[in-house]
Structure 1
Amino acid sequence: MHSHSRRRFLQSSALLAGSAFSPNLLLGNDKPLSELNVASVGCGGKGASDVSAISAGNRMLALCDVDHNRAKDTFGKHPDAKQFFDYREMFAEMADQIDVVTVSTPDHMHFPVAVEAIKHGKPVMVQKPLSNNLWETRQIAEYAEKKGVLTVMGNQGATTSGTRLLREWIEAGIIGEVKEVHYWTNRPIWPQGKNLKFPTGEIPGYLKWDLWQGTVATDRPYSPKIHPFAWRGFWDYGCGALGDIGCHSFNSAFWALDLGGDFTVEASKVSPFDENVAPKRSTIVYDFPAKGKRGPVKIIWQDGVSNPNEDKEFVRPPGIPKDLKLPKSFGQVFVGTEGAIFVPDAYCSATPKLFPESLMAEAKKVERIYPRVLGGPTQELCRAIRGEGPKPISNFVDHAGPLTEMVLVGNLSVRLGKKIDWNAKDMKARGLPEVNEYLKRKYRDGWEPSLV
């Protein structure tokens, strides 16, 4: 199919997919646009699974990664895709042929890659968090809205049936009025904490370290203890345990309880950390005021919990049986006035459980309201591009952007050691001007953002 026809289709489907399902659109000689040309930036680790997910029914056109050794398995599975180190070169050479882009890089590079995709009018999936920086998160959402492109963030929980079932139960009043939601995780499972040392090494030939550092102004030498995994603990590159898992875990409450807007947040029980690396452990409490028909809600987050069944510092959520064994990696509990909902993972991929169990009889009568999604975020985006479904729930403007901001403001409370009263509209902390220096990163020369 000619590139100009594909562009017209993408523009039309972005509008048609905004609110309702539409039939498969036809182009040219009555042939539906089914196979999309995909460009993926970040092809190792999580990128490998994202490529695998979106490649079903589509054509992998271009694969870009600064580390060609880490990406070699993905490259081998898609030998016809053109390989790149630099995403800017990929867009310069192939933008007219690309239909959709996935971004699965370290957090600090989500923004510049996604902006380049949006600048070219390309629908884009960006891994969570949308960015590790508040200014970037707000800008990328506004830019996507301005350009009218379809978007989705890679928080799988936004597409699981468990998330939809949980919201249906809550809206039906099965557990009464929700008062608290508890989340916990064993993250970080990478090095974090004060005064960590990262020994330097010789840059391997298959890695473009300068491109890996990208926008970050801090000129760090290469260390195998940073790339490919431990970057998550760095404030510059990642955003710690909360940034890694928060967009997954909080998604359920954010969507079911409509948590967008102002809130207060305060961190406590924070282990030592420094200006470079996040702490090993923290407890973070959010308070959301009443909104619409919903009363005030408290969100309690605990990270660095190695085993919630044995950890003496862990605050066990109320409303669940005392002998219920909690999962070590993640979990969530919604506490209502009439009962509780327990979910044994971060994504609501498992079926939620009700306590007391007698509530289950009433829950079985609850009508299914929200359509179930097949294939996760990337396929949800592809269906929207084709005009076969609505825009993804976790699109940048309505969901992913505000959700990511909620997560990142929690990290501000950790870093400043203060309670934050967050003004979401103006992106400011009331009475705390010192927050302002953390809102926007310092950019390396030549990497300053341009949103035109």
Structure 2
Amino acid sequence: MRRATTIGGRCLDGQKAFEAGPKMSRRRVLGAAANLTTLMIVPRHVLGGTGHVPPSERLNIAGIGVGGQGAGDLQNVSSENIVALCDVDRAHAAETFKRYPNARAYSDFRVMLETEDKNIDAVVVATPDHTHAVATMMAIKMGKHVYCEKPLTHSMYEAREIAKAAREAGVATQMGNQGHAGEGIRLICEWIWDGAIGPVREVHAWTTHAVWPQGLQRPRETPPVPHALDWDLWLGPAPSRPYHPAYAPALWRGWWDFGTGGLGDMGCHNLDPVFWALRLGAPTSVEASCSVFVPTITWDKPFNTESYPQASIVRYEFPEREGMPAMDLIWYDGGLMPQRPRELEDGRFMGDKLGGVVFVGDKGKIMCGSYGNAPRLIPESRMREYKRPEKSILRSVGHHKEWIDACKGGRPAGSNFDYAGPLTEMVLLGNVAVRMSLELQAKGLKLLYDEASMKVTNLPEANEYMHRTYRDGWTL
């Protein structure tokens, strides 16, 4: 049995958390208070246990993956009670552990959820992509509300299963594509639905945000595992391999086994306004062209099966839907960009420093930055002439606040899993095309996709990338 490592009386190594002395649980306090006839709101345990949180009550929230983006997510929900924290890297998460000294700390989220079941209402998941689904699914099955960072999952199959499970469990959910709560994405929807640029038949979207290396071979060195890192738990459901700093804590996004590349990272942000405004679902086809991996020793493997290519272009085709015409969506990453619109004035920056989107309509163009920020009709003279429609979409109280309110019985959050699941599926289908890009070129094909079966119909070998086999001991 593994010995429990503790800091300040808090368990950090997967064993049951403990405290210095006995403490009345929050639910026992509420149970005692329920006897008072002056209570205005019945406590949640009377109304059905975890999952029902009266608006007047603060949520008990646990964090899974709290050393990076998870630290920021927790800060955004810190108006509630942060009661438990989980991270496999004690050094990377040290500042977060210090920030919430009363939260019990773990390294294995499975142990945390089982141990803290009665104390947790909601969970924030911000692990590397390859662990999103297993952590999120366990929380959902236990009736916990879940906020999960983008992309929702590592594979398309996981995205569909997670959305289905959340729907059946009736829990409040939100994916961490924060731009969905912004003003920009709402303006884009309202302008397109108003007919500002006519029917949209083509969209170009890109990112410049690949701040990690790609196009790499697997490291050959096997340095020692840092003492504060539980490497086996970090690997989670992914295939076993030796530790290397090229993966953890920060550079995992570029590796097929752990991340989802530039498309998975920023697609859920920059393609979100396209998905919403143009009422997209699944594409009928997708294809990709990528930078070619050049091995350093032999030429027998022209495509790198270890990490994403340095740059790629992904082309989606969508059918007619809800009164909108068939359209093409083209994605660019790794420094590649679409053609500069003729309407864009000289000297004017295209998008913003993280990327952007250009909507091409029959009557004009809309350009925005990453996350749907700062949309404008182009050229600027068109923007000045345009009479904006009345606002028709409810404005957000804040991306994290939406989720908190939903947990307490309010309206569903904007990027709840019924929305985020299909968005993630669309994004990750592009990575399947990236994985198959050389074979597609060799056979003169593009992937034809059937949404109902979640299968490529003309190249069956592509379907192995819809899901992955989990390592022993891990399950969805």
Relative to the length of structure 1, the TM-score reads 0.88
**Residues 1:445 and 2:472 aligned together:** yes
Distance 1:115 1:264 in 2: 29
- Identity between Structure 1 and Structure 2 (%): 43
SS at 1:414 equivalent:
helix
Q: Please tell me whether the aligned partners of residues 233 and 277 of structure 1 are also in contact (alpha carbons under 8 angstroms).
A: yes
**Residues 1:204 and 2:226 aligned together:** yes
Cα distance 1:363–1:425, how it changes in 2: closer, same or farther (>3 A)? Answer: farther
Q: Please tell me whether the aligned partners of residues 286 and 298 of structure 1 are also in contact (alpha carbons under 8 angstroms).
A: yes
**Residues 1:266 and 2:304 aligned together:** no
Which of 165, 169, 178 lines up with 2:200 in the alignment? 178
Structure 1 stretches lacking a partner, 5+ long: 15-24, 27-31, 309-313
Relative to the length of structure 2, the TM-score reads 0.84
Q: One-letter code of the match for 2:377?
A: L
Distance 1:367 1:155 in 2: 25
Number of residue pairs matched?
421
Q: One-letter code of the match for 2:58?
A: E
**Residues 1:424 and 2:451 aligned together:** yes
1:243, distance to aligned residue in structure 2 (A): 0.8
How big is each residue's C-alpha offset from its partner over 1:256-305, in whole Å with a ceiling of 9 and x where there is no partner?
11111342111124332411111000111111111121011211111011
Structure 2 stretches lacking a partner, 5+ long: 1-25, 32-42, 294-302, 441-445
Q: One-letter code of the match for 2:364?
A: G
Q: What is aligned with 1:6?
A: 44
SS at 1:232 equivalent:
helix
Distance 2:196 2:282 in 1: 25
Cα distance 1:305–1:338, how it changes in 2: closer, same or farther (>3 A)? Answer: same
Which of 6, 15, 36 lines up with 2:59 in the alignment? 36
SS at 2:62 equivalent:
strand
1:163, distance to aligned residue in structure 2 (A): 0.6
How big is each residue's C-alpha offset from its partner over 1:38-97, in whole Å with a ceiling of 9 and x where there is no partner?
101011111111111111x21101111001111111111111111111111111111111
Distance 2:386 2:340 in 1: 25
Q: Please tell me whether the aligned partners of residues 198 and 226 of structure 1 are also in contact (alpha carbons under 8 angstroms).
A: no
Q: What is aligned with 2:17?
A: none
Which of 276, 281, 298 lines up with 2:328 in the alignment? 298
Query: Which stretches of structure 1, 4 residues or more, deviate above 6 A after TM superposition?
Result: 10-14
Q: What is aligned with 2:364?
A: 339
Bigger Rg, which one: 2
Q: What is aligned with 1:411?
A: 431
Q: Please tell me whether the aligned partners of residues 178 and 269 of structure 2 are also in contact (alpha carbons under 8 angstroms).
A: yes
Q: Please tell me whether the aligned partners of residues 209 and 222 of structure 1 are also in contact (alpha carbons under 8 angstroms).
A: yes
Distance 1:12 1:275 in 2: 43
1:435, distance to aligned residue in structure 2 (A): 1.6
Distance 1:76 1:364 in 2: 52
Q: What is aligned with 1:367?
A: 390
How big is each residue's C-alpha offset from its partner over 1:205-230, in whole Å with a ceiling of 9 and x where there is no partner?
211100000001x2111111210111
**Residues 1:239 and 2:260 aligned together:** yes
Which of 368, 378, 386 lines up with 2:408 in the alignment? 386
Cα distance 1:245–1:140, how it changes in 2: closer, same or farther (>3 A)? Answer: same
Distance 2:45 2:191 in 1: 41
Which of 269, 277, 290 lines up with 2:307 in the alignment? 277
- Is the deviation greater in 287-296 or in 357-366? 357-366
How big is each residue's C-alpha offset from its partner over 1:76-121, in whole Å with a ceiling of 9 and x where there is no partner?
1111111111111111111111111100000010011101110110
**Residues 1:108 and 2:136 aligned together:** no
Q: Please tell me whether the aligned partners of residues 84 and 103 of structure 2 are also in contact (alpha carbons under 8 angstroms).
A: yes
**Residues 1:330 and 2:355 aligned together:** yes
Distance 1:240 1:324 in 2: 29
Q: What is aligned with 1:71?
A: 93
- Is the deviation greater in 68-77 or in 327-336? 327-336
Cα distance 1:92–1:33, how it changes in 2: closer, same or farther (>3 A)? Answer: same
Distance 2:153 2:403 in 1: 19
Once superposed, what is the RMSD of the aligned Cα atoms?
2.1
